[in-house]
């Protein structure tokens, strides 16, 4: 099996005899640079369609609104939990909890 691979490799390498190397055009690199600079010039004039301050305001609003909602819901639950604490003394008295303290 190893001999078949070696023969195949030698056959392929021998088939490359007489082939000339490809030569790049002399001004090929300059043409590529020119094409890239033309594309960059076409992309540069496109400015933002909206002013930057509107984008900043949108990001600030997206960050602040959830925080305000979370704080308000926290304080609502905090105040509602304080009103339910009034029922605990009655439960303690009814079931004689902490009677030995």
Report phi then psi at 97, rounded to 5. -75, 140
Domain that holds residue 77: 50-101
In this predicted structure, the answer to whether residue 96 has a pLDDT above a threshold of 50 is yes
98 within domain boundaries: yes
Q: What gap in Å lies between CA 40 and CA 78, rounded to an integer?
A: 57
* Over residues 64-93, mean pLDDT: 74
Tokens for 75?
């304080």
pTM, two decimals, is 0.31
When pLDDT is averaged across residues 57-67 and rounded to a whole number, the result is 92
Domain contains 15: no
Euclidean distance between CA atoms 90 and 25, whole angstroms: 96
Average pLDDT of every residue of the chain: 78
Indicate whether 92 belongs to any domain: yes
Q: How many domains does the chain have?
A: 1
The residue-averaged pLDDT of 92-100 equals 64
- Determine what percent of the chain is predicted with pLDDT higher than 90: 20
Q: In a 3-state reduction of DSSP, which class is residue 49?
A: coil
The answer as to whether 85 is a domain residue is yes
């Amino acid at each position: 099996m190893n001999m078949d691979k070696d023969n195949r490799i030698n056959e392929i390498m021998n088939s490359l005899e007489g082939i000339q190397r490809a030569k790049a055009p002399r001004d090929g690199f300059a043409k590529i640079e020119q094409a890239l600079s033309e594309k960059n010039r076409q992309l540069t004039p496109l400015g933002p369609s909206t002013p930057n301050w509107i984008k900043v305001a949108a990001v600030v609003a997206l960050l602040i609104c959830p925080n305000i909602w979370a704080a308000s819901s926290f304080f609502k639950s905090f105040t509602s939990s304080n009103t339910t604490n009034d029922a605990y003394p009655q439960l303690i008295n009814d079931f004689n909890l902490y009677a030995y303290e």
